[in-house]
Amino acid sequence: MLWDIRFNTLNSQLLIFGACKPDHCCINMNNAAIPWVMKVRHLGVSFFGNTCTIDLSAVFRKFYGQFNYMLSVLVHGGSANEMPTLHIVKTHCIPTLMYGCEAWSLSNTNLHKLDVACNNCFRRIFQCCWRETTRPLQFYCKSLPLSLLVDQRKLILCML
């Protein structure tokens, strides 16, 4: 074995992006058939083969869970200091939301959902009305919208 790589057939799956699975195609490894699937989970995101779309719902659940827990710990009867709270969100919650984003091909809807998640955090931290824009707050706090952070991370990856 040149590379000493061992594949586990129980953890392997076959998926075709942009088409249906072949009718009579069966791939075996170590005398076990590798199953065909319609979606695969990678880096916390579900990728759908036939539609070439992704499902970020698990990522959003984890993000909002971390954010709400962090706020419940920081806020005891009153309001937390905004800038330290924002710093914790930017260093602990946002990386959870952005993990693996370099591999994503996001629709405009998913990009909008990322921005909405970030806007919701700013509104909760700074106690803003849901109708108020968060752009001035983001500018003041030196924070880019998440849709732009995704693009930035993809560009940095391309430069490596």
Q: What is the pLDDT of residues 51-65, one digit of tens each?
A: 878 888 999 999 999
Query: Is the residue at 77 inside a domain?
Result: yes
76 lies in the same domain as 125: yes
The number of distinct structural domains making up the chain is 2
Residue 19 predicted with pLDDT over 80: no
Classify residue 114 by burial, with Cβ atoms within 10 Å: 0-12, 13-18, 19+: buried
Instruction: Collect all residues with Cβ–Cβ distance below 8 Å to 38 and sequence separation of at least 6.
Output: 15, 48, 49, 50
Q: CA-CA distance, 34 to 28, in Å (whole number)?
A: 6
Question: The tokens 């129980």 sit on which residue?
Answer: 10
Query: Is the residue at 73 inside a domain?
Result: yes
- Report the predicted TM-score, pTM, of the whole model to 2 decimal places: 0.76
Determine contact, residues 48/66, Cβ cutoff 8 Å: no
Q: What is the pLDDT of residues 3-15, one digit of tens each?
A: 888 788 888 888 8
